[in-house]
Structure 1
C-alpha cells in the first residue's frame, strides 16, 4: 500500500484481523532509527501479525528515504508529515474510530512531538530517545546505573583487581559520571514539554537494563513529570530477549483496552 507525503511516496503494510472485521481501535507502528517497517529482528512485523490475530488492525510504514519509500531521510525530527500521512491513510483504509500509536526509541520521541498534529488519540512509547550524544560513551545515567550493578557482583570486583577491566575506558566513564549534572538538553526539553500534553493518554514502556531507557528515566525524574510507566527486566532495547515479545504484546493490548 502506498500513500503521498510532501511530494514523495511512502509504502506501508496493513495487517487486518483474519475474520475481515477490524476493531474500532487500530494501532499505528512507527519504526525507530533507520529501520524499515518490519522492525529489528522482524519484531514489528511479527507483533502486527499477532495483534491482527486478536482482532486489532495494525499499520506499519517506511518514512521518507527508508526502505521502499522515496525522498530523503531527514531523521526522526522531520517525520511529522510522514506520521500524519500514515495516520490518515490507516484511518481511511481500516475505518477505525480510535487511533493508538506505538514507537520505540526515536520513534517514541517523534510520536510525542508530532502525534497530536497527526490526530492520534493515545500513545505507547518504548524507551524514548532523549539524548544528544557527544561521544561514544553511553549517557551518564546509564553508566552510573551499570557501575552500581557491577559493584554488587563479586565477579566484577575480581575482574577489576585481576586486570580484566579496561582501565582507560573505566577512567573515561568515571569522569563522565563525576561531572555535575547539567540542565536538560534541547531535545529533552522538547520531549518533556510534549509529554506534558499526553499525561492521561500515554503509556511508557522501558527496558530496565537499556541505556536509552535509563537516560530517559533519569531525565524525566528530574522534571517531576509523571506518566504511567511499566518496566521490563531486560537489557534488550528492542525487547528481543526470551519472553520480551510476549510481554510487549500484552502491554500494548492493555493500553489498547482489549482483553
Structure 2
C-alpha cells in the first residue's frame, strides 16, 4: 500500500512516499538532479511499485526545495542531511526493517558516495555524475559528449563498411582521419586531487558498505564515469542502452538488478 507522509530535515518538512511491504530489506530511492520523487516519466514511482509488489518496502522523498518539500534547494552536494533524515524516517515508518539499501541515479548516485558514511547496508549507484557543478551548486549537462563517447563513435564509424567504402573512394579527409586516430591513442588526463572524479574515486575505495554500479553504456553520463573514475573492487553491471533513466524496456532490467541486490545474501 502507498502512503504519503512528511518528515523534518533541519527544521523544514520534507514530503515522502512509502510503498509498504512486509520484507525486512527496504529500498531508499534518492532522486537525481531537480527531479521530484516520482522520477523522470514517473520511473521511480513505477520502480517503487514493482519492488514493493515483490515484498520490499520502498521510501522516496523530495529533498529540500524540490517538489512538495520546503526549504532551500542546495543541490546534491548539500543533500547529506536530507538523505540521513529520510533514512531515519524510513526506519520509523517501517520498524520491521532490518536492512536498508539506497538507490540513486546520476548525481543522486554521486551524493550517496560523497556523503558517506551513512547508516546504510548497501548502495546501488546508477550512471554516477562526474561533471563539476556550476556556480549555483547544480549540475549542468556539458555541451560536448565525453571523450569516451567521441572515441566510441569514431571506432563505430571505422567498423562500418560504408565508411570504409567512402575512404576508398576518397570521400574522407585522410589528414582528419589520421588526427582522429591519433586522438584515440591518447590517455585522458589525470583528475585533479580536489576534482569530483577524484573525490568519487576516494569514496569508492573507502566505502563502508557493499555497492554495485549500474551503467547504461550509451548514456553520456555513464560514459564520462567510465572515462573519469575507477570503480576498483566495486562490481559494475552494464546495459547496452542510451537511456539515462532506464526508460521503457530498460526498466525491466533495472527492476531485475535491484531485486537481485535486495535479495542477495549478506
Q: Assess same fold via TM > 0.5.
A: yes
Question: CA shift at 1:91, angstroms?
Answer: 0.8
Partner of 1:213: 222
Q: Deviations over 1:129-155 (max 9, x none)?
A: 112279511222222222222332345
Q: Please identify, of 4-13 and 195-204, the stretch whose mean Cα deviation from structure 2 is larger.
A: 195-204
Larger fraction in helix:
1
- Cα distance in 2 for partners of 1:73, 1:158 equals 53
Taking the TM superposition and a 5 Å limit, the aligned residue runs for 1:240-255 are: 240-242=247-249, 244-255=250-261
CA contact (8 A) 1:143 1:177 kept: no
* Helix, strand or coil at the partner of 2:23: coil
RMSD over aligned Cα atoms: 3.0
TM-score (norm 1): 0.84
Q: Bigger shift: 83-92 or 128-137?
A: 128-137
CA–CA distance in structure 2, aligned partners of residues 69 and 90 of structure 1: 16
Cα distance in 1 for partners of 2:82, 2:26 equals 17
Q: 1:158 Cα shift?
A: 7.7
Give the whole-Å Cα distance in 1 for the aligned partners of 2:165 and 2:237: 34
Q: Compared with structure 1, are the counterparts of its residues 238 and 160 closer, same or farther at alpha carbon in structure 2 (3 Å cutoff)?
A: farther
Q: CA deviation at 1:161?
A: 11
Aligned positions of 1:1-259 closer than 5 A: 1-17=5-21, 22-95=22-95, 96-117=97-118, 119-132=119-132, 136-154=143-161, 181-185=188-192, 186-198=195-207, 201-221=210-230, 225-242=232-249, 244-257=250-263
Larger Rg: 2
CA spacing shift, 1:93–1:231, aligned 2, 3 Å:
same
* TM superposition shift of 1:229: 0.8
| Cα deviation code 1:12-35 (max 9, x no counterpart) | 000012xxxx21111000011111
How far 1:36 moved relative to its partner?
Answer: 0.4
Q: Say if 1:104 and 1:128, in contact at 8 Å, map to a contact too.
A: yes
C-alpha separation between the residues in 2 aligned to 1:130 and 1:256? Answer: 26
In the alignment, is the contact (CA less than 8 A) between 2:217 and 2:241 conserved in 1? yes
Q: Report if aligned partners of 1:31, 1:103 keep a CA contact under 8 Å in 2.
A: yes
- Whether contact under 8 Å (1:32, 1:106) holds in the other structure is yes
Runs of 4+ in structure 1 deviating by more than 3 angstroms, as ranges, are 154-162, 173-180
Q: Could you tell me which runs of 5 or more consecutive residues in structure 2 were left unpaired when the two chains were aligned.
A: 133-139, 170-176
Cα shift readout 1:101-141 (whole Å, capped 9, x = no counterpart): 00001000001112423x11100000111122795112222
Against the structure 1 CA distance between its residues 135 and 207, is the aligned structure 2 distance closer, same or farther, given a 3 Å change threshold? closer
Task: For 1:90 and 1:217, locate their aligned partners in 2 and report how far apart those are by CA, in whole Å.
Answer: 32
**Other-structure match for 1:165:** none
Query: How many residue pairs end up in the alignment?
Result: 245
1:52 match: secondary structure:
helix
Partner SS state of residue 36, structure 1: coil
